Amino acid sequence: MSFEVGREWDKEEAEFACAVPAHSHCTITEYIGESCYNSKMAGVSAKVAVMVFSVLGMYGFAAGVVYSNNWLDAKATWYGQPNGAGPDDNGGACGFKNTNQYPFMSMTSCGNQPLFLDGAGCGACYQIKCSNNPSCSGRPQTVIITDMNYYPVARYHFDLSGTAFGSLAKPGLNDQLRHAGIIDIQFKRVPCYHRGLYVNFHVEDGSNPVYMAILVEFANKDGTVVQLDIMESRPDGKPTRVWTPMRRSWGSIWRLDANHRLQGPFSLRMVSESGQTVIANRVIPANWRANTNYGSRVQFCCVCVSEMIAAKMGTKVAAFVAVLSMLVVYGSCAGHHDKYNTSAATNYGSGWLPARATWYGAPTGAGPDDNGGACGFKNVNQYPFMSMTSCGNQPLFNDGKGCGSCYQIKCTNNAACSGNPETVIITDMNYYPVAKYHFDLSGFAFGAMAKPGMNDQLRHAGIIDIQFRRVPCNYPGLKINFHVEEGSNPVYFAVLVEYEDLDGDVVQVDLMESRSAYGGPTQVWTPMRESWGSIWRLDSNHRLQAPFSIRIRSDSGKTLVANNVIPANWSPNSNYRSIVQFS
């Protein structure tokens, strides 16, 4: 059941609490004598459903390491203090806090990509053991993924805290094992057990009435959350019964960029990796505050699909093929998704393509009330954006890689349309597309497509057909700017990249440190990771030494280097203008 512990639910609330997301593998729950079914599977017999779920369990999920009794080979290293939790601040790229305390107890690890999974692996639990070193005890120890390992030395690489690494040793030989350096280990995925804890939600610093960021922690069993949805309340306090999907910002932190003031109390719906759904009803109150914990009374109770991996069916590949055939006939739990051609939208020279356009915010405004958006750009009502901005659906936003891209748009099939092309910049994400390509424009940009004096008339048209094409960006007089984001510190560095001419978007950012505050560069480029939108981050295992040089690569492959652009005395929430620009 998805109900909050220790509370009576009325019929109306039970109906929405029972709703199961289309991507969940656990599609059947019960409430008040009735049953909920995923409509995509409603016509499939229970026997077929069991076969589908069993095979999915046996073959695992789309990515990552599934639960199994088999041990896999890996390499292990350690970092930080010999008896520490890893990072100096007891945090990490997953966003968890106080990993030196229960339930982490310093038994933490950085995982390389097959383990970290771009943050989707945060919170997963693994048993590890070592046996090929005289100091190894051979006893399994459980660790939790809390950070990212950027420099793997093997297919699977656990960069452990000093405490976790030492725990693999025989009694009294912890330091001797730590001196071994890189060691061979074995590992397997196991359910997490955080006894006495319920799922906790930490509203992150920077959250405001139109932007909500939430850290999800202490999830039992799977340990990982693959989807988080939020439900607002009506002004009278009743739930709206509308679930809005949040997007993974980084690690275990999820965000919602709203086009209106969010109304609490908020309910949160979580889906685990194995498909189990749990709802924390009204867990965040109407008077919520940023940088605050809100404990729930809910917890995951099982590993929904993976516990079906019992291997008692002895399924053969032929059975898997047969079930795949059934999935083709009946449809998968995930439903059907249009295969959008992202390259057609983002390539120059593709010609005019059809799209739909809507608008939001103030009629003559820049879109968001705070003049920002999911790309992280600030002051989009000012030059060079000048309120000519748009939210793009996935083929345009492209998980943030489309941020800053420029498009010409025009409309002709409405009497108020001028037919003249106007240039807009992607600055935000459109979560509710009404077409294959959907521009949700600022009120100002939407009105710009109208004939003189008919701006309001066009805005009253609602959804309109438009044509669009990708064009180079042109920001006369501007060089590329780097904004060091709030929260950056000596071991965590986040930077917003903006004002790139031509392509307008950046697909890779690298950082070079200096040998000292007054010394030369290290000549070593460290790749940064896209945090969200146009913000890139580096989670370091040491104190970063400025000045920093930054190397950026555009969508078309052009590379620019801004030497020593971030000074030794840099500070968060500051702009650092370069002298470079794409040409």
* Same fold: 72-190 with 200-294: no
Which position has the higher pLDDT, 309 or 326? Answer: 309
What integer pLDDT is reported at residue 316 of this predicted model? 36
In 127-193, alpha helices (H): 162-166, 174-178
Q: Bridge partners of 141?
A: 128
Give dist(CA 245, CA 258) in Å, integer. Answer: 11
345-379 pLDDT, tens per residue? 667 767 899 999 999 889 999 998 888 888 889 99
Peptide bond between residue 472 and the one before it cis (omega within 30 degrees of 0): no
Q: Taking 50 as the threshold, does the pLDDT of residue 305 lie above it?
A: no
211-242 pLDDT, tens per residue? 899 999 998 887 789 999 999 999 999 999 99
What integer pLDDT is reported at residue 315 of this predicted model? 35
Q: Are strands 200-203 and 141-148 parallel, antiparallel or unpaired?
A: unpaired
Task: Please provide the average confidence, as pLDDT, over all residues in the chain.
Answer: 81
Number of H helices, E strands in the chain: 10, 32
- Contact at 8 Å (CB) between 214 and 266? no
Instruction: Give SS3 for 294.
Output: strand
Instruction: Give SS3 for 283.
Output: strand
CATH C-level class of 200-294: mainly beta
Q: What is the CATH number of domain 72-190?
A: 2.40.40.10
Give me the residue spans of the domains in the chain. Answer: 11-61+305-330, 72-190, 200-294, 342-471, 481-577
What integer pLDDT is reported at residue 465 of this predicted model? 95
Question: 341 falls in which pLDDT band (50, 70, 90)?
Answer: low
Give dist(CA 313, CA 50) in Å, integer. Answer: 12
Q: Going by C-beta distance under 8 Å and a sequence separation of 6 or more, which residues neighbour residue 396? A: 345, 346, 390, 402, 405, 407, 426, 430, 437, 438, 439
Listed residue (446, 245, 482, 259) closest to 370, CA to CA: 259
The listed range with the strongest mean pLDDT (71-75, 153-157, 338-342) is: 71-75
175-211 pLDDT, tens per residue? 999 988 889 999 999 999 888 899 999 999 888 888 8
Instruction: Give SS3 for 512.
Output: strand
Provide the phi-psi class of 415: left if phi over 0, else alpha when psi is between -120 and 50, else beta: alpha
Give dist(CA 527, CA 546) in Å, integer. Answer: 16
Residue 159 phi/psi, 5-degree rounding, is -95, 95
Listed residue (300, 117, 271) closest to 198, CA to CA: 300
Instruction: Give SS3 for 249.
Output: strand
Give dist(CA 479, CA 365) in Å, integer. Answer: 25
Helix (H) or strand (E) holding 142: strand 141-148
Question: 61 falls in which pLDDT band (50, 70, 90)?
Answer: very low
Listed residue (550, 13, 17) closest to 278, CA to CA: 17
Question: 394 falls in which pLDDT band (50, 70, 90)?
Answer: confident
The token duo for 55 is 């095979």
The token duo for 526 is 């460290």
104-134 pLDDT, tens per residue? 999 999 999 899 988 888 999 999 999 899 9
Instruction: Give SS3 for 46.
Output: helix
The token duo for 128 is 């590890």
Strand order in the sheet with 211-217: 247-250, 253-257, 211-217, 200-203, 292-295
Which position has the higher pLDDT, 579 or 12? Answer: 579
Tell me which DSSP letter residue 1 carries: -
Give dist(CA 290, CA 269) in Å, integer. Answer: 20
Listed residue (233, 260, 258, 234) closest to 246, CA to CA: 258
Give dist(CA 312, CA 6) in Å, integer. Answer: 37
Q: What is the CA radius of gyration of the chain?
A: 25
The token duo for 371 is 């003049």
CATH C-level class of 342-471: mainly beta
CATH number (1.10.10.10, 3.40.1440.10, 3.20.20.140, 2.60.40.760) of 481-577 reads 2.60.40.760
